[in-house]
Chains A and B, each alone.
Chain A
Amino acid sequence: MKNIYEYYAKWIREGKLKPSSDWNKDLKVKFTLQDPCQIVRKSFGDAIAEDLRYALKACVGEENFIDMTPNKSNNYCCGGGGGFLQSGFKEQRLEYGRIKDSQIKETGATYCVAGCHNCHAQIHELSEHYEGHYQVVHFWTILCLALGILGPNERTYLGDDLKGVNVFHPESEM
């Protein structure tokens, strides 16, 4: 049982994937990263958190990545885990997520990469509820963007600022 975040980093180190952050050189779009409790603290520890950062920085540029505090194994849960999203306790769930929302806002980043679907859904809702209006994206989206292979129909979670950046086969837009 392995996690794909370890492999993204491995494949980049081995040169099998060659992402470039050039698309973001002038744009300087800022990214932060949610360390999923399940993957980092509960399973693979700081090593996989480092892998995640290595891969993300390769895609967006070292200077455009801003970490939350605290982070990695010491990170706060976003409140999407453990079944909270389906439990019916919505008000409490949003209250739980208040810390995460503040953490993200403090980074000033306009994008938060979420490595798991529960985190993704919860942080997306936090962004709307607390009106931070940061975007929440899967890592695969950013990796494909940096590889220059992200088509127009694979950009559901990108904001308007990135919908038209580095588009692969723009004519295939549906």
Chain B
Amino acid sequence: MAEGAIKLGGKKKKSTIMDMVKEILPDGGNLNACLTCGACSSGCPATGLEGMDARKFLRMAALGMDEEIMKSNWPWMCTMCQRCIYVCPMKIDIPQLIFNIRSRRPRDQRPKGIVASCDMAMKGETLSAMGTSVEDFQFVVEDVLGEYQEAQPEFADMEAPIDKKGAEFFLNQNSREPVTEPDEMVPLWKILHTAGVSWTYGSKAWAAENYCLFIADTENWKKMLHQQADMVHELGCKTYLNTE
């Protein structure tokens, strides 16, 4: 008996995906501490999709069922919303496990729509996932602003500045408004004007979209964050203000 046990223990075990992820995460993401209580799965909207749930997925990872978990599309149906870790008694980081499994898929096999949006964002200086250029953004902002200054005289001296040095707030902007519904930018401008706030957009790096993060493309995601930080510093703004 004892001999057998020693023999088994001495055999070199193949390193699983779960082992590798545990090495990356602080405290190994507590991935080994599961009590199988099911609190995660019972409060997760992704439970049942593809016949999978959070607890089962973690279990499969722990058992080294690497092929199955890499084949599964479930990691793209978990939104990494963190409700499971919020309710988990052992604070097991399932969302980070999912993120790392997303990042292990060859890039060309990750969902095309998200990949395309990340690629588009990385193509230009604005980081817009819809491909809005510096010039187009500037044009639409100035055009809409002019219209409203005229139509609503109470806002004749309202501003929507781009690259205003020393403004307190650097505002980001989702591409959806300038591209498809420019009038929807105006309410926020009016609020900022009424509150007497000093703010600016950047001509570059203004877009608020996070697709490179969703696609688990850490390298490009870091590049985006750097470009945003550079723009904020260049303008000397105190605060990066996320508008969503």
Contact = CB atoms under 8 A, between A and B. Distances in A.
B241 A84 contact: no
A172 B151 contact: yes
B63 interface: no
Contacts of B187: 138, 140-141, 143-144, 150, 154
A84 B75 CA distance: 10
B86 A41 contact: yes
B183 A3 contact: no
Given A87-B113, A117-B244, A141-B187, A172 B152 contact: yes
A36 B83 CA distance: 12
Nearest to B150: A172
Interface in A71-109: 73-77, 79-84, 86-89, 92-93, 95-100
A141 B244 CA distance: 14
A56 to B, nearest CB: 14
A76 B243 contact: no
Give the interface residue-count category, chain A: 35 or more
Interface string B169-205: 0000010100001011011101100111100000000
B80 interface: yes
Contacts of A151: 148, 151-152, 186
A151 B152 CA distance: 8
B224 interface: no
A4 interface: yes
B59 to A, nearest CB: 21
Contact of B45 (A1, A76, A144): A76
Interface string A121-149: 00000000000000000101101100101
Contacts of B73: 89
Contact of A89 (B76, B155, B181, B211): B76
B176 A3 contact: no
A147 B152 CA distance: 14
A3 B242 contact: yes
A88 B82 CA distance: 22
A88 B77 contact: no
Contact of B77 (A16, A42, A92): A92
Given A4-B241, A89-B73, A73 B45 contact: no
B240 interface: yes
B177 to A, nearest CB: 9
B240 A74 contact: no
Contacts of B154: 149
B78 A2 contact: no
A153 interface: yes
Given A96-B45, A147-B194, A151-B152, A76 B83 contact: yes
Interface of B: 43, 45-46, 48-50, 73, 76-83, 86-87, 111-114, 116-117, 148, 151-152, 154-155, 174, 176, 181, 183-184, 186-188, 190-191, 194-197, 208, 211, 214-215, 239-244
